[in-house]
Amino acid sequence: MVILAAGEGTRMRSARPKVLHSIAGRTLLQHVIAAAAAVEPAHVMVVVGHGKDEVIAHLDEVAPWVDTVVQQVRAGTGNAVRVAMDALIRGGHLTLEGSGPVIVLSGDTPLLTGETVRHLLLTHQTQAAVGTLLSAQLRDPAGYGRIVRDDAGDISAIVEDKDADLVVRAIDEINAGMYVFEVEQLLAALSQLTTDNAQGEEYLTDVLASLRERSHRLIAELVTDVDEILGVNDLVQLAQAAAIMRDRINEGWMRAGVAMIDPASVWIDVDVDLEPDVVLMPQTHLVGPTSVASGAQIGPGTTLTSCEVAADAMVRHTVAELAVIGPRATVGPFTYLRPGTRLGAGSKAGAYVEMKNADLGDGAKVPHLSYVGDATIGENSNIGAATVFVNYDGVAKHHTVVGRDVRIGSDSMLIAPVEIADGAYTAAGSVITDDVPPGAMAVGRARQRNITGWVARRRADTASAVSAHSAEEALKSTSSESGIPASKEGDQ
């Protein structure tokens, strides 16, 4: 197997090598390698060139079983295949005797499927061809090389658009640029390639002409879905390929029992795993190896990256990464779950809650407006609104432990490291710096005092002073009518 990935991709207008641009959670090159794997090739050689260091590093990470060879001078597709074949022979992976066919694919065709690669190889083998190419019928074939067939249906010629006469231009079958060759004949044809053309390059299509001249049988296999042959040469085509991939993935999941209210707004990576009866609301993005169990509802307005969502959970207007959401848990709206967050069964992370490296026990709740970082919260505990787990002292992060059935009052500050034991309470507005024993009420605030007349003395010309004066007069009038003197409690 040879995959051509040496092109510069200048039309992408990007510093990133073309084949490293991504759709549906994989790079263009990864998609092609995945399709190639369907035929279980004995060896895969990827020809790299532009951005070779980045491409090789990427392959070492995502597909360490493939080998690479550098095309030092980008001298055409024929030259690239010759460089790959030389590398395969030097490495002892290919011999003239006993080697199976060689498949040549392009690294910028992410919509190619494994089924098409299998069918292309099977057709080549069963038809006893020396060369087989993938072709497609287009409504507008302008700009593509046309496949000219003989009376037996085999390939008699491939004519480039610029060289075609009116009869050939009327042909709607084009060369998709993916091939299967017999090794011995391919090597012989490659050795005859020249650069005697306008571009000064060695063309792989010239191999086909050479084989035809030697009376070898060449056939073309029509692809069922023309989208599979679409190459990506600029960012417009990248977006078009991504949309086609999205629709393909979504249709597959819907036929498997996943409901989508607006499939056009749902984006699912290829490594996502979904169970039947999952509901995906509009503007949902599932990224990386995310899994969602039956009965869960995700969205609207939600992005989950490498998350695990258990059965019957509900996640709305949420951004989450590397988080585990337990069965029947509810999340959102406007919630941020950072890596290391685990939500137990029936738990809740509510509106405007941020959690990081935190374990929320079964039935526990953080309903709204709170930050929970580096914490363990026990079963059925409740964290009041605007509570902050103060986990960072400016140098290091520290852990907070909240036991079972604890009630944290609203606007509490829990200064880590600290432990709130089972059944304890904290008073609203408290700053908790010491451990709280089981069943205790922790109060960490000053006693309130009211300074009577402060507004009249310090803010005499404000609307507050006017309103306060009116209220005082009304209070005096009410007290006079009832015969009860106005209270002086709290005067300073």
Domain ranges in the chain?
2-229, 257-442, 449-492
CA 188 to CA 167: how far, in whole Å? Answer: 32
The H or E element that residue 244 is part of is helix 235-255
Cβ neighbour number for residue 237 with a 10 Å cutoff: 15
Question: CATH second-level architecture of 2-229?
Answer: Alpha-Beta Complex (3.90)
Question: CA 116: distance to chain centroid?
Answer: 25
Q: Which amino acid is at 242?
A: A
| pLDDT of 490 over the 50 cut | no
pLDDT at residue 485, as a whole number: 60
Question: How many CA atoms lie less than 13 Å away from 348 in the CB half-sphere?
Answer: 16
Out of 368, 398, 399, 469, the active site residue is 368
pLDDT at residue 212, as a whole number: 86
CA 368 to CA 207: how far, in whole Å? Answer: 67
CA 370 to CA 349: how far, in whole Å? Answer: 9
For domain 257-442, which CATH number applies: 2.40.30.10, 2.160.10.10, 3.30.160.160, 3.90.1150.50? 2.160.10.10
pLDDT at residue 355, as a whole number: 98
Percent of the residues in the chain that have a pLDDT greater than 90, as a whole number: 80
Q: Is 21 a catalytic residue?
A: no
In this predicted model, what pLDDT tens digit does every residue of 456-478 receive, in sequence order?
999 999 999 999 999 999 988 88
| pLDDT of 75 over the 90 cut | no
Selection from 56, 43, 108 nearest residue 77 by Cα:
108
Predicted confidence band of residue 484 (pLDDT cuts 50, 70, 90) = low
What's the mean pLDDT in 284-302?
98
Percent of the residues in the chain that have a pLDDT greater than 70, as a whole number: 97
In this predicted model, what pLDDT tens digit does every residue of 135-152 receive, in sequence order?
999 998 888 889 999 888
| pLDDT of 492 over the 60 cut | no
pLDDT at residue 482, as a whole number: 67
pLDDT at residue 356, as a whole number: 98
| pLDDT of 400 over the 90 cut | yes
Q: Report the mean per-residue pLDDT for the chain.
A: 93
